[in-house]
Structure 1
Amino acid sequence: MPSRPRPPKPLGTITRGTTNPNRLRRMDRWLAGPQGHRLRRAADPLVVDLGYGAAPVTAVELFTRLRALRDDVEVVGIEIDPARVAAAEPLARPGLCFRQGGFELPLDGRRPVVVRAFNVLRQYDEDEYAAYWDEVRARLAPGGMFIDGTCDEIGRRATWATLDREGPVSLSISLRFGAFGLPSDVAERLPKALIHRNVPSERVHAYLRALDKAWLDAAALASFGNRQRWMATCAAMKADGWPLLDGPSRWRLGEVTVAWDAVRPG
């Protein structure tokens, strides 16, 4: 009897796997909020948590939060380390499962409407990320998006790049009030595509410097609280011509999203 062909080797390498409960709550809130229309309209509401880490807590949280949006959402946690997949299996339930794999997305031909990879690509070399971006984008459903993000250990400072099937669309920054002195403090958490580009000749450097200036210019509002100061900062950025893609309802959460062209690597 001929032997069965071996499944393809997962695409990628094992990451450190550090995770904490609620670490990705800021991104989940954005996904269920202004991006919720993607799941509501999807013919197949399939979501992937790619590289969920040593514990599956972020995949479980994502499933719980998105089920409140649409009760037939399916979340697949994908990890390259088989031991991590085995450890997650007891938490599987209808609509939530775990599979071994990498950027090739072992989904039996299905196309996800959302793929989230947080604190994954930052552990790769700078010359690798673009190929992995292309690998995932090619597997998205129509209207789908790939989120490549980074955050600190407890989720107080986060950034993420959003891509669709055509390419990068936006950069989001989300900060807990009181967890930063200047907006540019988030620079160490930029996605791999931008983290080494925060130098004077690059667009993302200009964007962060502009945020810092607007924040300092709004210092008179500090007595009314950091939320009011941040909202004034974002309003000033928009008035100065930065292509912000959101408005006050997101700014009040410590969040701001800008079109990718404003920060893309030179």
Structure 2
Amino acid sequence: MGTVTRGTTNPNRLRRMDRWIAATHGTALRGCADPVAVDLGYGAAPWTAVELLGRLRTTVPATRVVGIEIDPARVAAAKPYEREGLAFRHGGFEVPLEGAKAPVLIRAANVLRQYDEAEVAAVWERLRARLAPGGLLVEGTCDEIGRRHVWVALGQEGPRTVTFATRLGSLERPSDLAERLPKALIHRNVPGEPVHAFLRDFDRAWAAAAPYASFGARQRWIRCARDLSADWPLTDGPGRWRQGEITVRWEALRPAPAG
């Protein structure tokens, strides 16, 4: 169930998302007797699934990863890379796992970008229904070499947070991340929408923190985040800010109701 994507992928493209998952969802992975993570729509090459296994296993050695693709040819091409803890399956949003196993993590990166905004909620609901108790769905978009990411984290109850992550040395202003907003938000970056107001304030805080640039881009980002947290419900702190991340509660950026 779903549509074949362009399949564009590059090694290390999803490293920022993977590191965030390992850091913030590691407790849930460790608490699962048989932790299975799904790389949904991994693309024309299996690199992202291979890398996800390696990164999660540094936190939870028992983790297994299943790459799922709707294009049978891509699954066939990935099969030679299977090994203990890593498998590839044909499928889509139904997330077909052997024995109807429920994954503790579904990562869907650069999958929904080609869909209409109106389709996102139904896809989110379908994927959330496949999660194991305490599971997490991470859905978002990044550029081709992994410099800029924005993703939504969802539990079984619905969306929780939005994370903005970037390689700080390449950033001119935070609103440069707008082009990587996930499908649920990318068309909402217009006046009157919460995400537009957030990016406006993000740029203002970044500009105000310019004096800290003499100490490096990381210190400027941390100061920017501190200022931003006065008006926006950030859920993380300096430990994650140092990684070039800022996470805000979904409720603060949720699209404005129609009409």
Per the TM superposition, whether the score is higher than 0.5 is yes
Residue 120 in 1 paired to residue 116 in 2? Answer: no
* Matched residue, 1:86: 76
1-structure distance, mates of 2:14, 2:118: 26
- RMSD of aligned residue pairs (Cα, Å): 0.8
1:155 is matched with which residue: 118, 139, 146?
Answer: 146
1:142 alignment partner, one of 130, 133, 143: 133
Q: CA deviation at 1:34?
A: 2.2
Question: 2:5 — aligned with what?
Answer: 15
The counterpart of 1:241, out of the listed 231, 237, 246, is 231
Residue equivalent to 2:63? 73
Question: Which residues of 2 match residues 1-266 of structure 1 at below 5 A?
Answer: 11-107=1-97, 108-238=99-229, 240-266=230-256
CA–CA separation in structure 2 for the residues paired with 1:224 and 1:72:
41
| Alpha-carbon shift at residue 35 of structure 1 (Å) | 2.0
Q: Given residue 139 of structure 1, which amino acid in structure 2 is its aligned partner?
A: R
**Letter matched to residue 194 of structure 2:** R
- Structure-1 separation of matches of 2:34 and 2:249: 27
Q: Identity percentage over the alignment?
A: 63
Deviation at 1:232, TM superposition (A): 0.1
Q: Following superposition, which runs of at least 4 residues in structure 1 exceed 6 angstroms of deviation?
A: none
Count of residues in Structure 1 that have an aligned counterpart in Structure 2: 255
Contact preservation (8 Å) 1:149, 1:160 = yes
Unaligned runs of 5+ in 1: 1-10
Shift of 1:241: 3.0
Q: Which protein is richer in helix relative to its size?
A: 2
SS of residue matched to 2:67: strand
Residue identity opposite 1:160 in structure 2: W
Deviation at 1:247, TM superposition (A): 0.2
Q: How far has the Cα of 1:112 moved from its partner?
A: 0.6
Q: Residues of 1 paired with 2:158 and 2:70: CA distance?
A: 25
The Cα shift of 1:44 comes to 2.6
What SS does structure 2 have at the residue aligned with 1:13? coil
Deviation per CA, 1:12-38: give whole Å up to 9, x if none: 010000000000000011111122111
Q: Deviations over 1:202-223 (max 9, x none)?
A: 0011111111000000111111
**Paired AA for residue 109 in structure 1:** A
> What TM-score does the superposition give when structure 2 sets the normalisation length?
0.97
SS of equivalent to 2:191 = coil
Amino acid of the residue matched to residue 101 of structure 2? R
Distance 2:190 2:81 in 1: 44
Tell me, yes or no, if the aligned pair for 2:26 and 2:60 is still in contact at 8 Å: no
Q: TM-score, normalised by structure 1?
A: 0.94
CA distance in 2, matches of 1:64, 1:221: 35
